[in-house]
Structure 1
Amino acid sequence: MRLVRLIGNLGYGSRKEVAGMFREGRITDAAGEVLYADDKVGHDDILIDGESLDPPAGLVLMLNKPTGYTCSTRDPGRIVYDLLPPRFKLRSPVLSTVGRLDRETSGLLLMTDDGALLHRIISPKAHMRKVYEAMLAEDLKGDEAALFASGAMMLEGEDTPLLPAVLEVLGPRQARLTITEGRYHQVRRMFAATGNHVDALGRVAVGGLGLDGLAPGAWRALDPGDMARVFAG
């Protein structure tokens, strides 16, 4: 792939704009030597304005999404792409969220430009484990764990029972819930079905991958070891 196309696909600019960056000498190798559009050089040896090139196609990243952001490119308010370098929104293939967290749910969000991987994770057949921590408006009654684990719980407006879920009580009004499917607002609706209300909700793990101390609003690219953890959960 020609360097102009490679760099353009990473969102740094149109092909015309990237060609101009070459003419201006802004694109160099790791040693600081100016590169030309027809040079043959490895991805890791390309610098733009002295900074390493963004990861190539096949990128998977984890973001600790704060509340108040939506997983959309069309929302007029704050979107998760605002937390990333602006060019990430212009990448081709497109960088998409792996599933969604609603505006008022915080925590671990995966994003990738690998469509096959995205569908592998979110496929209902995958039964990918997702762990949430919830702060509730009312004290737990004590029978929620058995109900959630029963495999017979029905949500309002649906005709298929939920798969068994695991509830861990962390406090009178605090719980950790592990689910293996991803129905619309599932966690909030599960607690609502018990007569309770979720005041705050955060996702703390996907598969075997947790936040690992990642600060709210921060992100990092995943390496093969991280991906192994996702599918080991």
Structure 2
Amino acid sequence: MRLDRFLIRRGTHSTKEITYLLADGQVKVDDRIETNGLQSIHRFSKIQLGEELLQEYEAVYLMLHKPAGYLSATTDPQHPTVIDLIDHPLRHELHLAGRLDRASTGMILLTNDGKWSKRITEPAEKISKTYHVTTRDPISHETVGIFANGIYFAYEDLTTQPALLDILAPHEALLTIQEGRYHQVKRMFHAVGNQVLSLHRKSIGPFVLDDSLPVGKFRHLNKAEVNFFRA
């Protein structure tokens, strides 16, 4: 929304008065004087008119180290959810930028900024996610090429994007994908006759799960991290 329209919609000043107040330096956006009424603002912009605070809404961006046993959901009548792990006054306004199965562990990003999270979850953005995978059977070297060529999912009638598989041990590997389809990692291994026993997400795009972040705890993303996914 434009700044001048936001001010006019409040109904306390006429269009002419708003134009004067802007020109007179009486309006601040995010603590900076703004004289351009055409300036674009959003729900998280801090807006002041003189000494009056008109809008201030905190944008929250969190990284959580998800433990097993928690649903990637905001509410559930039967099981604990990742929101139950968040000690923050705005926790009930948060949503997840990507999910993990209840048994899976690792990085979850949470925010109240829908535009920001869409940049992460939108398939067209091709944001890489890396998982540490433990399997029932040894991982064959042929699987590397199969995953690189993509796996056909009949239900969706599509072939997955090329994936990078780095075998660490006979039953362990790092898998990097650029999608987030339903149970994708488990279905990919199932397609080659194997079974995933454990799944741990290590990274999303440039974000790597902090080694110092204990299981079940979260931290705030810093400004540089948040800005990476700014539109």
> What are the superposed Cα offsets for residues 47-72 of structure 1, whole Å, 9 maximum, x if unpaired?
xxxxxxxx952211000000100012
Kindly indicate whether residue 78 of structure 2 is the aligned counterpart of residue 99 of structure 1: no
The root-mean-square deviation of aligned C-alpha atoms, in Å, is 2.1
1:3 is matched with: none
1:57 is matched with: 58
Instruction: Measure, in 1, the Cα distance between the counterparts of 2:167 and 2:227.
Output: 28
Is the 8 Å Cα contact of residues 88 and 95 (structure 1) preserved in structure 2?
yes
Check 1:106–1:71 CA distance in 2 against 1; reply closer, same or farther (3 A cut): same
1:154 is matched with: 152
State the Cα distance separating 1:182 from its structure 2 match: 0.8
Kindly report which structure 2 residues correspond to 1:84-163, keeping only aligned pairs within 5 A, or say none: 84-85=86-87, 87-90=89-92, 94-151=93-150, 153-163=151-161
State the Cα distance separating 1:136 from its structure 2 match: 0.5
1:71 is matched with: 72
Q: Tell me the SS of whatever aligns to 2:174.
A: strand
State the Cα distance separating 1:155 from its structure 2 match: 2.3
Is the 8 Å Cα contact of residues 206 and 230 (structure 1) preserved in structure 2?
no
Give the counterpart letter for 2:74 in structure 1.
Answer: T
Moved over 6 A (4+): none
Instruction: Measure, in 1, the Cα distance between the counterparts of 2:57 and 2:64.
Output: 18
Is the 8 Å Cα contact of residues 74 and 95 (structure 2) preserved in structure 1?
no
> What are the superposed Cα offsets for residues 166-201 of structure 1, whole Å, 9 maximum, x if unpaired?
000010000100000110000011001111111110
Q: Which has the larger radius of gyration?
A: 2
Instruction: Measure, in 2, the Cα distance between the counterparts of 1:64 and 1:57.
Output: 22
Q: Tell me the SS of whatever aligns to 1:191.
A: helix
Kindly report which structure 2 residues correspond to 1:182-193, keeping only aligned pairs within 5 A, or say none: 182-193=180-191
Instruction: Measure, in 1, the Cα distance between the counterparts of 2:187 and 2:88.
Output: 34
Is the 8 Å Cα contact of residues 188 and 198 (structure 1) preserved in structure 2?
yes
State the Cα distance separating 1:103 from its structure 2 match: 0.2
Comparing 135-144 with 67-76, which one deviates more in the overlay?
A: 67-76
Give the counterpart letter for 2:172 in structure 1.
Answer: Q
State the Cα distance separating 1:228 from its structure 2 match: 5.0
Instruction: Measure, in 2, the Cα distance between the counterparts of 1:221 and 1:125.
Output: 26
Instruction: Measure, in 2, the Cα distance between the counterparts of 1:209 and 1:89.
Output: 21
State the Cα distance separating 1:230 from its structure 2 match: 6.4
Gaps of at least 5 residues in structure 2 are: 1-50
Gaps of at least 5 residues in structure 1 are: 1-39, 43-54
Q: Aligned residue pairs: how many?
A: 176
1:197 to 174, 189, 195: 195
Q: Tell me the SS of whatever aligns to 2:153.
A: coil
Instruction: Measure, in 2, the Cα distance between the counterparts of 1:208 and 1:230.
Output: 10
